[in-house]
């Protein structure tokens, strides 16, 4: 082994330089490959600007007869995100119990469980949606399934990490007491990790509100689909007000989850 | 064992008349049970509202297996196309990340309350970016596609909006976590605002910036892989087009590529995090 | 005196090549208070954890109350474990539960089915837990959250939980390593008095040589996984200490060597 870089100032400077050099090289390589020139954005600036001012502004309301439909599509998006996350969380809890060597009664299978979760998680939700659309057809149910799969995988990993961080010690002490696996789960893991689980659950809700909008765009229904229809129909001013609606929805949900998180950790 | 169980059963009969000893905590968080019941209730209402035809869905579940079988029959004939599209996706992800990094540092400087100490400027920057962050990335890309036409520009610009917004918020947080004394000490020497930022604040927040960047690369790649599905180029386009035209072999291979790269980025990030934590 | 525990030629080799225990032989009788001493990494913790099979041994036999530990599985293993109480350096309580709930965890090994899972303890067990807390001077904290206690108090809850099991043998893994000197003394006094009152044999892993000499009836010295000393505290000469720790007695005492 060569000499280790200490945590001193010199080491940090080296990391700086390495990071900068890597960034510059990557920048040049990717710019050349994609042929991306920020100047084209500036050059097209006028057209871009006039497009925004003329086509998008001011935001217009959809036809009065359509408004209830738009609002109910927002509800669909919210309902989709909430139900998929909750049900995924319940399943994730039971799967996560078998995903940690230190907690699971079958430590040899823990790697398999985690590997499966990694596989599910590293394929984006929208790709899942497409795979499911081609097998199950289009509809809210499929949007639900796509969200369910990715949130399940995400929460399995998050829950396993929480359990290994928080409850390893008390699981050991209950093992020594002679407690059975269900007893260890209900008396040690659940009470000590519940706050952590709920906090991850809230984070997952935040992510899924956005994801369910997107999944909706390609066929899962909800406000995403509404937006997509207006854009495809060149009604950009209406689309803008829907975008504002989506933003409002996301901000409100973020505020609520932030508040809930504070209450839970009290 | 019999002894204990027998005894405790007897004792239960005796103690039924006495007051029960409570074993719970005095200072319980009463909110958690309310929250959990509320969530379950809302979920049930949501499920009823969504009115999903579970039976129909379940009857089609075997088809998922078939699709997966077909996806697993990799078709290598279009590998050069897959390869170039995935390279394009990675490039767009990295490029937008780098542009956003610079923009994020600039806007983060404006949004942090302790750099310029102009309250309205921080509030304004933060609220604009809160809005930008609240709209999902594919929506921005879709809008950019409309404005700029097909091509990497739309992808990079669209991804930049959301990524910059994310970085602005996270970097501002990192900048604000720097102790005021450090800044005051430099102020006392008469250093300008910008040079205080570049000389004291930025180096102190550097490791956090690296961590945020690594974390964001993961997200950016998966967002970018998806963009093709709403009409932009890249590997997402290859996947969705091949799925729609039942070319499962090609789509399956592309999905495997996406998985492998996403997995590598995740591993890289975990290693980076460990190194920084050391 | 009845023999409770017997180590017969026990070895433990970890998969990374570390030999934690090498041919360890000793027996423990009822009522003994044994300290296991030795430098870090000498296998103290492995000895303790192999007794209740939190760690499985590679070779040899451990007999607890005449039953071989290594062959036990499932329900039998749980029944065996409940004969052995354990106290940990980091207390290992469930901090979000109340003190008395943590104590009652000691009787989980005796409970079956839904009652154990739901934590529906019998009134008799609750009374017993309260009595134990009273004996340890903790009765006023019974319904407090375990996270609000100080280190010494947490360890007292740990002791109550272990005694609640009605064990024949008590294992203490560095019980005072995270405590200040005055709480450490309280904990050691309590351990000594509670075990001798109930005739429970006790094995304690210790870093503090002076504590080991003061409290134990017998000391086992470990070095690199082998027993290099096994005898009464009085027999622990400077030469033997040097053999255990590989350094002289003066180097082990922080400023206290002048006192003894």
Domain spans, chain B = 2-52, 69-277
> Using CA atoms, how far apart are residues B134 and B167, in angstroms rounded to an integer?
14
Q: Which two tokens stand for residue A240?
A: 């803008």
| Residues in contact with C209: Cβ distance below 8 Å, sequence separation at least 6, in sequence order | C37, C241, C249, C252, C253
Helices (H), chain A: 9-34, 38-43, 45-51, 67-97, 110-121, 125-136, 140-166, 168-177, 181-184, 190-215, 223-232, 236-264
Whether residue C115 lies inside any domain: the answer is no
DSSP summary character for residue C147? G
Question: In Å, what is the CA distance from A256 to each residue of A39, A253, B165?
Answer: 41, 5, 20
| 278 residues of chain B, pLDDT tens digit each | 334 444 444 444 444 445 677 777 777 778 888 888 999 999 999 888 887 777 777 777 787 788 788 777 777 777 888 888 888 888 888 888 888 988 888 888 888 877 777 788 888 888 888 888 888 888 888 888 877 777 777 788 888 888 999 898 888 888 888 777 777 777 777 777 778 777 777 777 777 888 788 888 888 888 888 887 776 777 888 888 887 787 788 888 888 888 888 888 888 888 877 776 66
> Using CA atoms, how far apart are residues B241 and B228, in angstroms rounded to an integer?
9
Q: Does B69 touch chain A (CB under 8 A)?
A: no
> Using CA atoms, how far apart are residues A172 and A81, in angstroms rounded to an integer?
37
* Chain mean pLDDT for chain C: 86
Question: In Å, what is the CA distance from A42 to each residue of A53, B132, C41, C115?
Answer: 16, 20, 66, 71
| Averaged pLDDT, C131-139 | 88
Supply the CATH number for residue C39's domain. 3.40.50.300
CB B98 within 8 A of CB B277: no
SS3 B235: helix
In chain A, which residues have their Cβ closer than 8 Å to the Cβ of B56?
141
Other Cβ atoms within 10 Å of A235 Cβ, number: 16
Other Cβ atoms within 10 Å of A140 Cβ, number: 25
Q: Which two tokens stand for residue A265?
A: 């950790």
Q: What is the pLDDT of residues C191-231, one digit of tens each?
A: 898 888 888 899 999 888 888 888 889 999 888 888 888 88
Instruction: Inspect the interface and report whether the beta carbons of A134 and B244 lie closer than 8 Å.
Output: yes
More confident residue, C37 or B76: C37
In chain C, which residues have their Cβ closer than 8 Å to the Cβ of A178?
77-82, 108-109, 165
Instruction: Inspect the interface and report whether the beta carbons of A198 and B258 lie closer than 8 Å.
Output: no
Question: In Å, what is the CA distance from B34 to each residue of A82, A90, A259, B117?
Answer: 17, 17, 14, 42
Q: Which two tokens stand for residue B5?
A: 């169980």
**Domain assignments of chain A as residue spans, ordered by start:** 10-56, 67-265
> Using CA atoms, how far apart are residues B214 and B265, in angstroms rounded to an integer?
8
The C-alpha of B38 sits at a distance from chain C's nearest C-alpha, in angstroms, of: 22
| B69-277: CATH, from 3.40.50.1010, 2.40.10.10, 3.40.50.200, 1.10.3720.10 | 1.10.3720.10
Helices (H), chain C: 44-51, 74-81, 99-104, 113-118, 123-135, 151-164, 181-198, 209-215, 238-245
Q: What is the pLDDT of residues A121-169, one digit of tens each?
A: 888 878 888 888 777 777 788 888 888 988 999 999 899 988 888 778 8
Whether residue C141 lies inside any domain: the answer is no
Whether residue C155 lies inside any domain: the answer is no
Query: Buried b vs exposed e over A25-60: b needs ≥16 C-beta within 10 Å?
Result: ebbeebbebbebeeeebeeeeeebeebeeeebeeee
CB C162 within 8 A of CB C87: yes
> Using CA atoms, how far apart are residues B145 and B226, in angstroms rounded to an integer?
14
Say which residue the tokens 């949130």 belong to: A151
Radius of gyration of chain C (CA): 19
Question: In Å, what is the CA distance from C121 to each residue of A4, A70, C93, C117?
Answer: 56, 54, 18, 10
| Residues in contact with C27: Cβ distance below 8 Å, sequence separation at least 6, in sequence order | C3, C5, C6, C7
Q: What is the pLDDT of residues B51-73, one digit of tens each?
A: 777 777 777 778 778 878 877 77
Determine phi and psi for B236, rounding to 5 degrees. Answer: -60, -40
Interface with chain A: mutation pick from B134, B209, B222, highest number of A CBs within 10 Å: B134
Determine phi and psi for A15, rounding to 5 degrees. Answer: -65, -45
Residues pairing with C21 in the sheet:
C12
DSSP summary character for residue A216? I
Instruction: Inspect the interface and report whether the beta carbons of C144 and B8 lie closer than 8 Å.
Output: no
Q: What is the CATH topology of the domain spanning A67-265?
A: MetI-like fold (1.10.3720)
Question: In Å, what is the CA distance from C19 to each residue of B11, C37, C228, C241?
Answer: 50, 18, 16, 22
pLDDT grade, residue A16 (50/70/90)? confident
SS3 C190: helix
Q: What is the pLDDT of residues C164-184, one digit of tens each?
A: 988 989 999 988 888 888 888
| A164 CB burial (10 A radius; 0-12, 13-18, 19+) | middle
Q: What is the pLDDT of residues A51-83, one digit of tens each?
A: 777 776 777 777 767 778 888 888 888 998 999
> Using CA atoms, how far apart are residues B262 and B256, in angstroms rounded to an integer?
10
In this prediction, residue A17 carries a pLDDT of 79
Q: A residues 159-178 near B, CB within 8 Å?
A: none
In this prediction, residue B41 carries a pLDDT of 92
Q: What is the pLDDT of residues C48-104, one digit of tens each?
A: 888 888 888 888 889 988 888 888 888 888 888 888 989 998 888 888 888 888 999
> Using CA atoms, how far apart are residues C58 and B207, in angstroms rounded to an integer?
45
Q: What is the pLDDT of residues A165-214, one digit of tens each?
A: 877 888 888 888 888 888 888 888 888 888 889 999 999 998 888 888 88
CB B186 within 8 A of CB B58: no
The C-alpha of C97 sits at a distance from chain A's nearest C-alpha, in angstroms, of: 7
* Cα C215–Cα C220–Cα C223 angle in degrees, nearest 5: 130
In this prediction, residue A82 carries a pLDDT of 92
Instruction: List residues of chain C with CB under 8 Å from any CB of chain A.
Output: 52, 54, 77-82, 84-86, 88, 90, 92-97, 101, 105-106, 108-109, 111, 116-119, 158, 161, 165, 171
| pLDDT above 70 coverage of chain A, percent | 91
Q: A residues 185-244 near B, CB within 8 Å?
A: 194-195, 198, 210-211, 213-214, 217-218, 227-228, 231, 236, 243
Whether residue C206 lies inside any domain: the answer is yes
Q: Is residue A89 predicted with pLDDT exceeding 90?
A: yes
Whether residue C47 lies inside any domain: the answer is yes
Instruction: Inspect the interface and report whether the beta carbons of B8 and C126 lie closer than 8 Å.
Output: no
Q: Is residue C119 predicted with pLDDT exceeding 50?
A: yes
Residue A257 Cα to chain centre, angstroms: 14
Whether residue C99 lies inside any domain: the answer is no
Residue C208 domain boundaries:
1-80+202-260
Q: How many structural domains compose chain C?
A: 1
Whether residue C177 lies inside any domain: the answer is no
In chain B, which residues have their Cβ closer than 8 Å to the Cβ of C110?
1, 4-5
The C-alpha of A134 sits at a distance from chain B's nearest C-alpha, in angstroms, of: 7
Instruction: Inspect the interface and report whether the beta carbons of A169 and C92 lie closer than 8 Å.
Output: yes
- Which residue from A178, A215, A180, A172 is spatially nearest to A85, judged by alpha carbons? A215
In this prediction, residue B8 carries a pLDDT of 43
């Amino acid at each position: 082994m060569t000499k280790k870089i200490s945590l001193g100032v010199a080491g940090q400077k080296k990391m700086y330089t390495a990071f900068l050099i890597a960034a510059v090289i990557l920048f040049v390589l990717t710019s050349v490959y994609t042929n991306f020139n920020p100047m084209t954005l500036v050059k097209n600036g006028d057209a871009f600007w006039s497009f925004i001012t003329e086509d998008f502004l001011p935001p217009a309301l959809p036809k009065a007869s359509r408004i209830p439909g738009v609002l109910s599509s927002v509800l669909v998006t919210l309902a989709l995100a909430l139900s998929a996350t909750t049900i995924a969380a319940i399943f994730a809890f039971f799967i996560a119990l078998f995903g940690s060597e230190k907690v699971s009664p079958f430590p040899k299978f823990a790697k398999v469980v985690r590997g499966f979760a990694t596989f599910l998680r590293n394929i984006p939700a929208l790709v899942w949606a497409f795979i499911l659309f081609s097998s199950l057809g289009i509809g809210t149910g499929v949007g639900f399934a796509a969200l369910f799969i990715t949130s399940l995988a995400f929460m399995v990993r998050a829950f396993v990490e929480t359990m290994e961080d928080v409850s390893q010690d008390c699981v050991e002490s209950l093992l020594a007491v002679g407690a059975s696996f269900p007893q260890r789960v209900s008396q040690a893991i659940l009470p000590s990790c519940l706050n952590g689980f709920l906090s991850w659950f809230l984070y997952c809700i935040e992510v899924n509100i956005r994801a369910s909008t997107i999944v909706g765009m390609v066929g899962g229904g909800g406000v995403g689909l509404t937006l997509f229809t207006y854009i495809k129909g060149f009604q950009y001013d209406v689309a803008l007000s829907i975008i504002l609606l989506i933003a409002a929805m996301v901000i409100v949900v973020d505020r609520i989850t932030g508040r809930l998180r504070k209450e839970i950790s009290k | 064992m019999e002894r204990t169980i027998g005894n405790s059963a007897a004792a239960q009969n005796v103690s039924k008349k006495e007051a029960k000893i409570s074993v719970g905590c005095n200072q319980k968080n009463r909110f958690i049970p309310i929250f959990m019941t509320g969530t379950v209730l809302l979920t049930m209402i949501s499920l009823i509202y969504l009115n999903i035809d579970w039976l129909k869905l379940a009857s089609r579940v075997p088809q998922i297996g078939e699709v997966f079988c077909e996806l697993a029959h990799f078709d290598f004939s279009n590998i050069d196309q897959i390869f170039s599209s995935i390279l394009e996706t990675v490039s767009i992800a990295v490029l937008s990340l780098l542009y956003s990094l610079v923009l994020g540092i600039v806007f983060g400087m404006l949004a942090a309350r302790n750099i310029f100490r102009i309250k309205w400027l921080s509030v304004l920057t933060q609220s604009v970016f809160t809005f930008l962050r609240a709209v999902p990335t594919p929506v921005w890309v879709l809008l950019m596609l409309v404005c700029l036409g097909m091509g990497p520009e739309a992808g990079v610009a669209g991804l930049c909006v959301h990524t910059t917004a994310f970085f602005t918020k996270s970097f501002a947080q990192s900048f604000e976590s720097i102790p005021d004394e450090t800044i005051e000490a430099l102020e006392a020497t008469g250093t300008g605002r910008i040079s205080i930022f570049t000389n004291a604040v930025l180096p102190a927040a550097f490791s956090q910036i690296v961590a945020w960047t690594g974390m964001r690369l993961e997200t950016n790649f998966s967002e970018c892989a998806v963009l093709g599905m709403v009409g932009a180029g890249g590997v997402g386009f290859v996947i969705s087009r091949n799925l729609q035209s039942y070319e499962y072999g090609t789509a399956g291979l592309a999905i495997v590529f996406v998985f492998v790269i996403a997995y590598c980025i995740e591993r890289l990030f975990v290693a980076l995090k460990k190194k920084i934590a050391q | 005196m009845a023999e409770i525990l017997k180590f017969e030629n026990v070895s433990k080799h970890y998969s990374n090549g570390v030999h934690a225990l090498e041919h360890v032989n000793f027996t423990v009788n009822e009522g003994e208070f044994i300290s296991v001493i030795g430098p870090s990494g000498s296998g103290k913790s492995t000895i303790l954890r192999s007794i209740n099979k939190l760690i499985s041994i590679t070779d040899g036999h451990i007999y607890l109350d005449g039953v071989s530990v290594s062959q036990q599985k499932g329900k039998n293993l749980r029944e065996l474990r409940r004969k052995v109480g354990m106290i940990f350096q980091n207390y290992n309580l469930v901090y979000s539960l109340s003190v008395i709930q943590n104590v009652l965890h000691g009787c989980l090994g005796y409970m079956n089915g839904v009652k154990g899972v739901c934590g529906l303890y019998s009134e008799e067990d609750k009374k017993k837990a309260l009595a134990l807390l009273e004996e340890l001077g903790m009765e006023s904290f019974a319904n407090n959250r375990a996270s609000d206690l100080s280190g010494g108090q947490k360890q007292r809850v740990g002791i109550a939980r272990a005694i609640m099991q009605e064990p024949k043998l008590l294992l203490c893994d560095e019980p005072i390593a995270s405590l200040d000197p005055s709480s450490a003394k309280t904990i050691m006094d309590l351990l000594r008095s509670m075990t001798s009152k109930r005739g429970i044999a006790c094995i304690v892993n210790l870093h503090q040589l002076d504590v080991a000499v003061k409290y134990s009836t017998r000391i086992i010295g470990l070095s690199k996984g082998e027993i290099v000393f096994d005898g009464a505290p009085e027999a622990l000469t400077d030469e033997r200490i040097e053999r255990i720790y590989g350094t002289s007695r003066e180097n082990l005492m922080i400023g206290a060597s002048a006192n003894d």
